[in-house]
């Protein structure tokens, strides 16, 4: 891959939301590739804190039920939205695959927790880029329902969930990116 191809992939990656996914299933080998590429993210002191729980097939219905029930049971009446409830219920069912993004804290706490969160985020970026290379839409969502899903996700000691990674093929055209110039965000010190 040339530097130009790497730049094109990085700059063309987008969050693609479940409402735009079609019914084409994602082959398990591609999902395994997405996860294996996540496994090669940078990790301080090689803690490799990322953990994944993959929902496919009938398990997507279980996830949909959990998320929508949690929403109905935990959102105060004055903030409840039937539209949001329906979206919460539908998103897993529109997806070919949903991956719970989890983090296993280093039991020795040899590095700050934020560094492990950053490593997991790097793993997710690898997932985004792999999906983009396969023209698979994906989206990282972090609703409170999944952040508090310890029992549902059967999380172990020191493990937490950082969100859901929705995946599905889509028929959208290439979406234009929106970024402010890097010059507005950079200070150069050369002396």
Give tens-digit pLDDT for 55-75: 999 999 999 999 999 999 999
Higher pLDDT, 107 or 53: 53
Please list the alpha-helical segments (H only) found in 95-165.
113-133, 144-147, 150-153
For residue range 147-189, what is the model confidence (pLDDT) as tens digits? 999 999 999 999 999 999 999 999 887 878 888 989 999 999 9
Cα angle for residues 21, 118, 55 (degrees, 5° grid)? 35
Choose among 1, 15, 11: nearest CA to 182: 11
Domains of the chain and CATH, by start: 16-54+94-171 (3.40.109.10)
- pLDDT for res 175: 79
Average pLDDT of the residues in 7-34: 94
> What mean pLDDT, rounded, does the chain reach?
95
Closest CA to 99 of 119, 68, 128: 128
pTM (global) more than 0.85: yes
Share of the chain above pLDDT 90, in %: 86
pLDDT value for 153: 98
| Rounded distance between C-alpha atoms, residue 163 and residue 136, angstroms | 19
Annotate 148-164 with b (16+ C-beta within 10 A) or e (fewer).
ebeebbebeeeebbbbb
How many C-beta atoms surround the C-beta of residue 114 within 10 A?
A: 8
């Amino acid at each position: 891959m040339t530097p130009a191809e790497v730049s094109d992939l990085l700059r063309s990656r987008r969050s693609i939301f479940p409402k735009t996914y079609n019914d084409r299933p994602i082959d398990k080998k591609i999902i395994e590739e997405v996860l294996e590429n996540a496994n090669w993210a940078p990790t301080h002191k090689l803690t490799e804190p990322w953990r994944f729980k993959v929902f496919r097939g009938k398990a997507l219905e279980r996830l949909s039920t959990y998320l929508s029930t949690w929403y109905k049971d935990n959102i105060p009446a004055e903030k409840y939205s039937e539209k949001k409830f329906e979206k919460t219920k539908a998103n897993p069912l529109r997806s070919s695959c949903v991956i719970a993004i989890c983090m296993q804290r280093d039991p020795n706490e040899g590095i700050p927790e934020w560094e492990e969160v950053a490593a997991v985020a790097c793993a997710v970026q690898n997932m985004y880029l792999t999906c983009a290379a396969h023209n698979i839409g994906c989206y990282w969502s972090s609703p409170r329902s999944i952040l508090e899903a310890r029992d549902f996700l059967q999380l172990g000691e020191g493990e937490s969930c950082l969100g859901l990674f929705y995946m599905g093929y889509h028929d959208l055209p290439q979406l234009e990116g929106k970024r402010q110039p890097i010059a507005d965000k950079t200070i150069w010190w050369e002396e």
